Amino acid sequence: MQFVDKKYEPNKSDLICLFRIEPSEKISFEKAAANVAKESSVGTWTHIETVNERAKRIKARVYELNEPYAKIAYPKELFELGNVPQILSSIAGNIFGMKLLNNLRFEDVMFPEELLEKYKGPQVGLEGIRDIFSVHDRPLLGTIVKPKLGLDSKGHAEVAYRAWKGGLDIVKDDENLSSMTFNTFEKRVDETMRLKEKAEKETGEKKEYMGNITAPVSEMKKRADCLIGKGSNYVMIDIVTTGWSALQEMRDYLEGKDVVIHCHRAGHAAFTRNRKHGMSMLTVAKFTRLIGGDQLHIGTAGVGKMEGGEDKVLRIEEAVESEKEKEDENKLAQNWGDIKKTVAVASGGLNPGDIPELTGKMGRDIVAQFGGGCHGHPDGTEKGAKAIRQACRAAMEGKDLKSSAEENEELRRALEKWER
């Protein structure tokens, strides 16, 4: 079978993948691309007598070569369309271990309409999340309780309360906080939700708590029920460590409950950070939106402490928040149809002084989260939250932060500490 066909024109039912391919020594680029298509569809390493006409018809085809990039079309018959693990076992499976490749990176993916129809996408999405808070003209602002581990349930709730009292919309568990001996999930939810209601009464604003339900799926369902029973509109899942099938199962389980699934990407950099090998965060983001993640950490566009430059992060934001992506030579333009928008979450090393640059790059349709940039304020968590809210207000009004700091003590103190 021949797996390179430069005259092939993908049809509407093909799944398209963009790969960055670096062949081993003495292997041509075209041969390497052909082997990626072969190994990820119907072929194997040697000639076999069992190939039938169906296998020949549904093989993957390399249809465009632009070294080091290759576009490969996969007929829908290769997949169980509603089964993300099976799909990824094909297009992102054995191919990464082939000796004839030095490096292989799964850069981008485009889903056909027939596959999109098998998935629910976000249940709440961008507009629904804005409606929860009645906030439509600025980013949603949040914090992560710090330290990550060490606080008991009451201590955790008290930190959350001070953040809400200072003006933040959302408080989130950290990615490695689940149900510890000193801070059990159930007691933490009880204490934190009690103080959330107190903060709402005192501020007159809607507040939310993102409890981390990450666990085996059976336990995640119990923890989701616990949060929902206490009045929460959010659950948080570490989607890389729990896996795609877990996210898919939880999206189905939460159907009809109008609950936001906040997706943390802890562990992604193990396979996304190497620019030559692995899978791009863009691809992770597209599968997350497809399955039903309402919010997803994508980086801070070069602001803060996390790896990921402006172009890379804005490309991901376009993928999760646009109705149709723009065409480009070495990217794939997904038309999302009726799939709702996933909200981009910016988090990692941010402080109040970063807000103008952050929103200038990423816009207002984001959740901006501040961990140390809230709790590390010289005067504590509540003043840190106030400084964040003051900086956001100034940025939305187009005012200079230093000028605004003259009238806002909390912002002035924050800028003095973190001025870069």
Token readout for 36 is 């990626």
Token readout for 380 is 């504590």
How far apart CA 416 and CA 102 sit, in angstroms, is 48
| Run of H or E residues at 87 | helix 84-91
> Taking the mean position of all CA atoms in its chain, how far away is CA 166?
27
Answer whether 359's CB lies under 8 Å from 137's CB.
Answer: no
C-alpha distances in Å from residue 234, one per residue of 89, 93, 133 = 30, 33, 12
Instruction: Give yes or no for a cis peptide into 147 (omega within 30° of 0).
Output: yes
Ramachandran angles phi, psi of 15, nearest 5°: -90, 130
**Residues that are catalytic:** 146, 264
How far apart, in Å, do the first and last CA atoms of the chain sit? 59
C-alpha distances in Å from residue 388, one per residue of 13, 142, 148, 203, 396 = 47, 9, 20, 16, 12
Answer whether 248's CB lies under 8 Å from 84's CB.
Answer: yes
Ramachandran angles phi, psi of 209, nearest 5°: -120, 125
Token readout for 374 is 């809230």
How far apart CA 333 and CA 111 sit, in angstroms, is 10
DSSP 345: E
Order of all β-strands in the sheet with 208-210? 208-210, 170-172, 140-144, 366-369, 343-347, 295-297, 260-264, 234-238
How far apart CA 349 and CA 307 sit, in angstroms, is 11
